């Protein structure tokens, strides 16, 4: 019996197979691009060039008298947008708390699948679809936007809340249970102190997202700055469109910085 182990045989890569796959994938991509370009009508009917439109969007807000004169009106519309986002986020943040506990496996056990199913069903629909539904149900205006933002926020915040609840330190609950605390006392003294910072942080972050979402809900009549933005775009008043976009950028940037500062203080 030989004690010398047999040398390992190194398999050399098959270069021909590699290049065959490479050229095959490249040819497939070229064919797909060719089909997309040849079967798509890229022509457009307009007398204004893209460069002119871009100039009106960027420079127009600072030089066009009508766009400058309507700054207070656009600012009030943006304030309404922020109010819609705040009210919707507040509703979603509150209603997502019981849904988060229901979807948490360490709290609800088997019922967690029901909670997760409800949250997944809510997240399957964008807020724009909810806005269309509520505009048809309650009429056009900010109320429909608040309901759309609120319902849509429940799905995302509920999922995030459930993950926070599932990651809590269970040894604290075991210690409270050993000391004779009931289930309500365990949640109040053992769970809530652990989840409040992250719950608050997620709610503030969701508010940032909802401000952006509320800016477009007006396109379907759910209030906010979306409606005048759509009207100005349809009328090809790019100076006013640029002014509203500038206001949206400024407000969203300020909210981002403020929310980031608050989150650093909380977490």
Domain ranges in the chain are 60-266
Q: Over the stretch 78-87, which tens digit does the pLDDT of each residue have?
A: 999 999 999 9
Q: What DSSP letter does each residue of 171-232 carry, written as one string?
A: HHHHHHHHTT--HHHHIIIIIHHHHHHHHHHHHHHHHHHHHHHHHHHGGGTSSSTHHHHHHH
In the predicted model, what is the mean pLDDT of residues 146-161? 93
Q: CA 96 to CA 111: how far, in whole Å?
A: 16
- Closest by alpha carbon to 163, among 90, 106, 201, 93? 106
In percent, the amount of the chain with pLDDT more than 70 equals 88
Q: Specify the fold of 60-266.
A: MetI-like fold (1.10.3720)
Mean pLDDT, all residues of the chain: 83
Q: Among all chains, which residue has been given the structure tokens 């048809």?
A: 136
Q: How confident is the model at residue 3 (pLDDT cuts 50, 70, 90)?
A: low
Q: Over the stretch 87-138, which tens digit does the pLDDT of each residue have?
A: 999 999 999 999 998 998 887 888 888 999 999 999 888 888 899 999 888 8
Q: Among all chains, which residue has been given the structure tokens 């990651």?
A: 167
Weakest-pLDDT range from 20-34, 86-100, 138-152: 20-34
Q: CA 168 to CA 161: how far, in whole Å?
A: 11
Q: CA 178 to CA 52: how far, in whole Å?
A: 74
What pLDDT is recorded for position 259? 86
Q: Which of 18-22, 28-32, 160-164 has the highest mean pLDDT?
A: 160-164
Q: Which CA distances in Å does 174 have to 181, 186, 210?
A: 10, 9, 38
pLDDT of 213 above 70: yes
In the predicted model, what is the mean pLDDT of residues 219-242? 85
């Amino acid at each position: 019996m030989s004690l010398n182990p047999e040398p390992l045989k190194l398999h050399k890569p098959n270069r021909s197979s590699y290049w065959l796959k490479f050229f095959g994938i490249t040819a497939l991509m070229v064919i797909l691009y060719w089909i997309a370009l040849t079967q798509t009508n890229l022509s457009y009917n307009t007398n204004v060039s893209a460069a002119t439109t871009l100039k009106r969007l960027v420079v127009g807000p600072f030089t066009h008298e009508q766009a400058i004169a309507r700054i207070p009106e656009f600012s009030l519309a943006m304030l309404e947008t922020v109010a819609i986002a705040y009210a919707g986020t507040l509703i979603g943040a509150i209603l997502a708390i019981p849904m988060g506990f229901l979807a948490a496996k360490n709290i609800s056990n088997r019922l967690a699948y029901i909670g997760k199913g409800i949250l997944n069903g809510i997240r399957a629909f964008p807020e724009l679809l909810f806005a269309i539904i509520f505009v048809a149900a309650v009429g056009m205006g900010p109320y429909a936007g608040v309901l759309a933002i609120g319902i849509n926020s429940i799905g995302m915040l509920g999922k995030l809340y459930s993950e926070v609840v599932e990651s809590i330190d269970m040894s604290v609950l075991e210690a409270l249970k050993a000391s004779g605390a009931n289930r309500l006392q365990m949640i109040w003294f053992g769970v809530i102190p652990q989840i409040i910072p992250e719950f608050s942080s997620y709610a503030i972050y969701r508010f940032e997202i909802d401000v952006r979402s509320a800016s477009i809900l007006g396109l379907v009549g759910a209030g906010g700055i979306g409606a005048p933005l759509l009207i100005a775009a349809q009328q090809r008043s790019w100076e006013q469109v640029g002014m509203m976009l500038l206001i949206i950028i400024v407000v969203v940037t300020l909210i981002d910085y403020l929310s980031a500062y608050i989150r650093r203080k909380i977490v």
